[in-house]
Amino acid sequence: MVLRVKILPVKYKTVKNPIHFYGELVKTKNGAEFLRNSKHLQRFRSDILSSETSLIAKRAALWALGHVGSNELGIKLIIEADLIQPIINLAENADFLSLRGTCIYIIGMLSNTKNG
């Protein structure tokens, strides 16, 4: 008895990130300018760097930054605010693995852009 197995290329389903307020905001020049002037990115920076910030607040700030940086206009804001290295540092040195994992995912979101 001869059995034949046909091996087909496997295509994995991609999971789309849900939309996020900040991600939608930076899709326009006016929205990116508003975000630049609002000082929200500086707040997110202080949240991810502070030892006083709760784990959930750090992860929320990271997700907001990831959605901002997944757009060409937004990644420019992320670079201007010098936020890439702090995210990398957290990915390498955070005490909580869930925070490291979030950082790695966010780095992936940032790298989906030309400048990222």
Per-residue pLDDT of the chain (116 residues; tens, 9 = 90+): 777 777 777 777 777 778 899 999 999 999 999 999 999 999 999 999 999 999 999 999 999 999 999 999 999 999 999 999 999 999 999 999 999 999 999 999 999 888 87
Burial of 21 (0-12, 13-18, 19+ CB in 10 A): exposed
Structure tokens at 95: 């005490």
Name every residue whose Cβ is closer than 8 Å to that of residue 96 and which is 6 or more positions away in sequence: 55
Residue 14: the pLDDT is 72
User: Which CATH class name applies to 21-110?
Assistant: mainly alpha
Residue 113: the pLDDT is 86
Domain ranges of the chain: 21-110
Largest Cα–Cα separation, the chain: 73
Q: Can you give the pTM of this predicted structure? A: 0.83
Burial of 58 (0-12, 13-18, 19+ CB in 10 A): buried
